[in-house]
Amino acid sequence: MVRLDPTPVQIQQRCQEIRNEWTADEFRRRSAPKSLAVWMPKLRRWAFLTHDEVGLLHNNGEHMN
């Protein structure tokens, strides 16, 4: 059977190839921390989460609202 999905190693290699093509300015811009806006209906306001905070919530099975 032919496997169509790339392996994790193939994904890492391809990502590295793509990053190697970036200019220094593009690398700096893409590496900057980003936040995700999440609507919290019970509080009726927006919360802004960083990548690290989203990872913690995902790994702990917590919910925002």
Residue 36 lies in a domain: yes
Residue 3 lies in a domain: no
Residue 29 lies in a domain: yes
pTM over 0.85? The answer is: no
Residue 27 lies in a domain: yes
Residue 2 lies in a domain: no
Residue 41 lies in a domain: yes
In order, the DSSP letters of 10-37 are: HHHHHHHHHHHTS-HHHHHHHHS--EEE
Counted domains in the chain: 1
Q: Which two tokens stand for residue 7?
A: 């392996």
Domain ranges, residue 45: 8-60
List pLDDT tens digits, range 35-63: 888 899 999 999 888 877 766 555 555 55
